[in-house]
Amino acid sequence: MKATEKVVPVTEQKDVDWDKYLAAYYEKPKSSLTWSGLDVKEVYTPEDLPLEKYNDIGDPGQYPFTRGIHRNMFRGRYWTRREVIGMGSPQDTHDRSKILVEEGGSGLNTIADIPYEMGLDADHPWAQNEVGLTGVCITNMYDMETMTADIPLDKVSWSLITASTVAVVTMAQYAAVAKKRGYDLKKLRGTVQNDPVHFRYCGFRPACPLDLSVKLGADVMEYCTKEMPLWYYTTVNLYDLREQGVTAPQEVAFGFLIARLYIDEMIRRGYKVDDFMQRFAFYVSCHIDIFEEVSKIRAARRIWAKLMKEHYGAQKASSQQFRFAVHTAGCSLVPQQPLNNIVRIAYQALAAVLGGVQSLHCTSYDEPVCLPTENGHTQALRTQQILAYETGVTNVSDPLGGSYYVENLTNKLEEEIYKIMAEVDKVGGMYEAIRTEWLDRVFEKEALTRQKEIDDLDKILVGVNMFTTEQETTTPLGVQRISKASVKRQIEMVKKLKKERNQALWKEKILALKAAAERRENVLPYMIEATEAGATTGEMMGAVRLAYGYPYDPIEIIEAPF
């Protein structure tokens, strides 16, 4: 078959402004600040990196891990190519996940939708028009079975992105399904995001009361440490904080202080850091300023190692190491000239890999327009594959290590991060900074500053405040829609389950869960049993919420059915 030739019309000639052309020839950058506003010099020399300081940097794989957590880095294993997927029904999400596995993805990664993150069942009156729009809604064990059907759980590493207090439910649902299918929980690999404290800043405050956030976060950590030792029981989410508009050093400082809330809770429960820190991980943003992002990651590794060793007395290397996944910065993408986003994402992914990332998600270039289309998703995976297989970046560990500039910027970011941490200390620590809404005010101020930088041309966004063109009339790859029929079917299934389950057993298990929460026990084992007895996400969260004095329903419109 002959390919059809598409004739592209030549753009109509316009009068060229030659003075502007000449000005462009001589133009130089207006600003020499980094994205986060750090002032940098025009050149760095050996004076900026005295050799005697090398001990504070260390080789890759050596304390304080500035240069990476493994000596051989990507020679040992590529980073995990893990694209986030979540759309429509559990079946739709399952199908898209398998497509990306077939295209060469190396880790599964599913994200919850808004009702699920809020702890609402798919049949909640507020949820019905929002199920599946931004992720997948798992209301019960059968939804989880559908999403994971025919995928060998002992051969995959599955990242479950449920960040809110509902992460504990997700873990229970996954464990219940794995048990039913005969898998040994101790051998399962994967990750659950489980960082409810940060999630209050993503609009989920009613679902994430502060005390319950710390308690349930630690419950998952405690359960997995004992029963699922290969499972990464949290990825503390620095990324979402950055998406609020804060700077690179603020991202690390605030994220680390939130991470410490969970660690301190585990210590309060009687654990030592070396008992449980081996499976603690982070989720980091990579924005567009390549050198700043690499330096941020290097500084984060050094600070974390020192904090764990010096403050918490961690002896094992695995409890001192800052392990992290990267999500390229969604907030840096714009719908104007959308193909440009592919380039932005590629630079951000490069920064992640130069920084020694463990697992990477590249955003899809169509995300400022809609959920990723299948082609958008695949293209994002291809960006990772070009980086991994074509560019040669995998050859050498920490290739920017020893650069006068990067080492200096790493030191500078380290200083900034410590300074911001000290500011939080001054307001009484992170718990108080959150409780008093000090942190809210910081986020608001920074978000406004970021917008003004674009408006005032202090930061350039190609296609937005420079080199603009007429608005494109279409997105090149079309729009991803959610199948209304499959979502409707899911909601019907939930209603049916609630009617047809063994009501006596269900009630016994849900009340046992509530009683355990009242006794302040770890609720996860009780949630597994309740899940097996047909209890739903909303019911289990509701039981725990009631035990802690919160309304059963975060939206406060439905009553407890028990």
Partner 1 sequence: MVKRKIRIMIAKPGLDGHDRGARVLARCFRDAGFEVIYTGCHQTPEQIAAAAIQEDVDVVGLSCLSGAHRYLFPAVKKILDEKDADDITVIGGGIIPEQDFQVLYDAGIKALFTPGATLEGYRGLGPREHRGKDMKGSMHFFK
Binding site for partner 1 (CB under 8 A): 114-115, 118, 120, 126-127, 129-130, 133-134, 202-206, 243-245, 331, 333-336, 367-371, 443-444, 447-448, 451-452, 454-455, 461, 463-465, 468, 470-475, 478-479, 482, 555
Residue with tokens 């316009």: 14
Instruction: Name the amino acid, one letter, at 162.
Output: T
Instruction: Name the amino acid, one letter, at 484.
Output: K
The helix/strand/coil state of 299 is: helix
**Cβ proximity to partner 1, 203 vs 313, nearer residue:** 203
**Cβ proximity to partner 1, 334 vs 396, nearer residue:** 334
CB of 282 to partner 1, least distance (A): 21
**Cβ proximity to partner 1, 230 vs 334, nearer residue:** 334
CB of 366 to partner 1, least distance (A): 9
Residues sharing a CB contact under 8 Å with residue 96, sequence separation 6 or more, in sequence order: 85, 87, 374, 377
Q: Measure Cα distances from 64 to 238, 272, 414, 415, 446 in Å.
A: 20, 20, 13, 16, 31
**Cβ proximity to partner 1, 283 vs 291, nearer residue:** 283
Burial of 194 (0-12, 13-18, 19+ CB in 10 A): buried
CB of 182 to partner 1, least distance (A): 36
| Ramachandran sector of residue 162 (left: φ over 0; alpha: ψ -120 to 50; beta: rest) | beta
Residue 262 has a CB neighbour count (10 Å cut-off) of 25
Residues sharing a CB contact under 8 Å with residue 349, sequence separation 6 or more, in sequence order: 286, 326, 328, 360, 362, 383, 384, 387
314 within 8 A of 305, measured Cβ to Cβ: no
381 within 8 A of 348, measured Cβ to Cβ: no
CB of 448 to partner 1, least distance (A): 5
**Cβ proximity to partner 1, 221 vs 371, nearer residue:** 371
**Cβ proximity to partner 1, 463 vs 551, nearer residue:** 463
CB of 428 to partner 1, least distance (A): 24
**Cβ proximity to partner 1, 455 vs 518, nearer residue:** 455
**Cβ proximity to partner 1, 247 vs 336, nearer residue:** 336
Measure the CA dihedral 431/303/278/294, to 10°: 110
Helical H runs in 64-140?
90-102, 114-118
Backbone angles phi, psi at 289, to 5 degrees: -85, 95
Burial of 11 (0-12, 13-18, 19+ CB in 10 A): exposed
**Cβ proximity to partner 1, 88 vs 525, nearer residue:** 88
CB of 514 to partner 1, least distance (A): 25
418 within 8 A of 300, measured Cβ to Cβ: no
Distance of alpha carbon 99 from alpha carbon 438, whole angstroms: 44
CB of 415 to partner 1, least distance (A): 28
Distance of alpha carbon 206 from alpha carbon 186, whole angstroms: 34
**Cβ proximity to partner 1, 357 vs 477, nearer residue:** 477
67 within 8 A of 57, measured Cβ to Cβ: yes
CB of 454 to partner 1, least distance (A): 7
CB of 227 to partner 1, least distance (A): 32
**Cβ proximity to partner 1, 202 vs 393, nearer residue:** 202
CB of 73 to partner 1, least distance (A): 34
CB of 86 to partner 1, least distance (A): 12
CB of 290 to partner 1, least distance (A): 22
Instruction: Name the amino acid, one letter, at 428.
Output: G
CB of 127 to partner 1, least distance (A): 7
Instruction: Please spell the DSSP secondary structure of 224-252, one letter per residue.
Output: HHHH-TTEE-EEEESHHHHHTT--HHHHH
200 within 8 A of 440, measured Cβ to Cβ: no
**Cβ proximity to partner 1, 120 vs 400, nearer residue:** 120
**Cβ proximity to partner 1, 193 vs 359, nearer residue:** 193
Distance of alpha carbon 210 from alpha carbon 523, whole angstroms: 17
CB of 208 to partner 1, least distance (A): 10
Q: Measure Cα distances from 3 to 6, 8 in Å.
A: 9, 15
**Cβ proximity to partner 1, 115 vs 534, nearer residue:** 115
The helix/strand/coil state of 268 is: helix
Q: Measure Cα distances from 533 to 69, 174, 499, 500, 510 in Å.
A: 43, 14, 13, 11, 9
